[in-house]
Structure 1
Amino acid sequence: CGQVGIMCGIFPCSVCAGVDLNGYFVNKAPPSSPEASVIDTAERPVFEKKEKKNENTTTFVLEDPEGNFETTDKLIQFCHEHGLIPSMMYKVSVGKQRHHHGWKCWKVSKTEVATFVESKKRVVTEMKKAKATAESCPNTRATPSGMSSNPSFFAGWPGTGLRGLPVTAGMSAPMVSSAMGFVGLQDFGSHLRPSPTAGYFIVRTPAGQVYGVHNLEKFCRDHCVPPMMLVRVAEGLDSDYLGYQCWRSTPQPAPTQPLNTMPTANSTEKEESSGKQEDSTESESKKSEEEDNKKKRNFEPDFQLPLGWKIVVKMRKSGKSAGTRYSVYISPDGKVFRSRHDVLEYHKNSIEGTDFDIAGRMRALRQMQDFPAGDMFGSGV
């Protein structure tokens, strides 16, 4: 017995050779026999495995775009049947998204489905009643589908996101409130603040032309001027903007072309007060016109070239030098040359040297500042 215990790795006591010191039974068969690998587990504790209960206590309540409610436990299958995306509907049920193609979804306990659906139906009926009353209200111009008729009616009202337009007398600012999918506008008697660009303006350009403007934004788009900068000039915050001067005035019967004189007394007084600044603005305007004339060289005659030749300034559209400008020489025949050297070579081959010396003519004309227009070119051209 002792040898068997030693060979098995267990040290039995000397009194009872069949039991080890820990109280477990030991096989008395030698370890080489098949019976030695079997261990008596009669006295070992037995643990009972508890089966997990997979009871689903929640369900999904869905509302279609028409307002009908449906319940389902299998959201993926329901989405596949109705052409919806399960992941998007799950986001709607969690609250990360409002709706998916008009469908709404909530994850509700099965015991509370009936009360939840009743409360939602009550909300839908109240929303329909509120929508009907809002459409009958004369001050309401918005519905869940969007604005009904005239978007300019919302101009300048808070919460609408629309720019203000000219306001008629007696109009007042409504309170914009959104509830259950529709927008309700109610009049509370406060006056509406018009857009800063609304009204009639007198604008003087750097060239000295005077315009009577009813639509300031259109005028600014045509002249590439920010409208709010002219509004600042009209309000007295700035003296001028790049030579442009602006005044508010009473509206005229119709928009006019450049005026010869200022039509209102207020504008003439402001013009007299700003007379000291006209000299500086005129000098600045002349400089700006000269710079613009230097930039605008497209299809303008160059006096360093024979009559009929033109220089066109182009801009590179691709490559490392994209955005840079380069000039192109165009002959009267329509041929294009990239450099002055190509022009000289073309004249050497096409014109005899006795008739016209373009190289000498171009060098001489570069050194001249003022020359008569009739003696620019030879008689042979």
Structure 2
Amino acid sequence: MAVALAAGIHSMSVANAAPAVDTQDRLRQVERDLQAGEKERAKLDARAEALEQELAELRASLISAAAEARAKGEELDRLETELARLDADEAARSARIEADRAALAELLAALQRLSRMPPEAMIARPEPPSRTLKSALLLRAAVPQLKERADALAAELEQLASLRTELAAQREEVAAAAAALDRRHAETAKLAARREELYRSTDSERQALSTRLAALAGQAGDLKELIDKVEAERRAAAERQRAEEAARQAQAQAERERRAKERAEAMKRAPGMSKSGGMILPVGGDVVTRYGEQDRFGVTSRGLTLKGRAGADVVAPLEGSVMFAGPFKGYGLILILEHAGGYHSLLAGLGRIDGQVGQHVLAGEPLGALSSDGTPTMYFELRRGGQPINPMHGVSSSDGKGQS
């Protein structure tokens, strides 16, 4: 009886000890997983730092590429205008030469007819001598004029040949400028695609690792409560560590943004960037409708309508963040940016959007492009405190924005 009772107590103690041993084993395994995750986090942070460095340089390159593409577009506009003027000049000269050529041909024909008539026949003509003498005098006077007009025609022909040579060279220059502009647009598109790839790579991997580590930490916390209350302090320490890590990452991100902005400012942005009141116009080209004017629908405009080249880059007018990006009702593709000082900007009528919601952008950083067909237009509106203001006046310097 005593032996049976002792065996029963022993079996009960073994049964109660088994869950504790299993829990400790699970806890140790979770802690090993956490340590491995922290090592992986350190590797990912190092990789993310390198990617962020590349991303900062890439954003500065994007700003430079967009500025250069805008300058090339303006140069192409100038060359096309000059080419049109040369075409018109060539047409006018050709018409003038043809008219002189016809008049000279008629006069030469008359002279040839007179030259074939012998003197005896002229004497025998039934005309009074005075008329014959008058004809001879007129013929004699016409010869110098004929030579003068022939010389002028020869000079005009030489000028026309020179003009056509210049026109051919100008056409080659226009073609080269157009090809260079197309290449720059293609390079900008590749840079924008690389930027988006870097954003996705760093964000998705970091979020996935953070989610996994948070799950492991929660599981470890539950197991620790089963073993010892002292583990509560360890969880608090882990929480403090996570807060410090978050603060460190936020500080590192702010530092990277600062470096990217300094690089962009150091490049001084190419002179092709049109500025207005300390602000960069989102696209290079002409202002079709100004603030306060009647637009083509007869409505008072609350912003600017800009006409640019097909496929031209659309850039951020000020530093800020993307609040909305995508199609909206009948406005097509639009972007809404939030800036410091209570400012917001609206860009409507884009052909392509490269930015994404939540993305921080620098002034002059490309966010999309105009339509690649024809001569597209876009609408740009600037608001402060929700009320439209004249974009041509820029922003107030007291807001710390609008640096050129």
State the TM-score, normalized to the length of structure 2.
Answer: 0.18
The structure with the largest helix share of the pair is 2
Structure with higher Rg: it is 1
Q: Which has the higher contact order (CA 8 A, sep 6+)?
A: 2
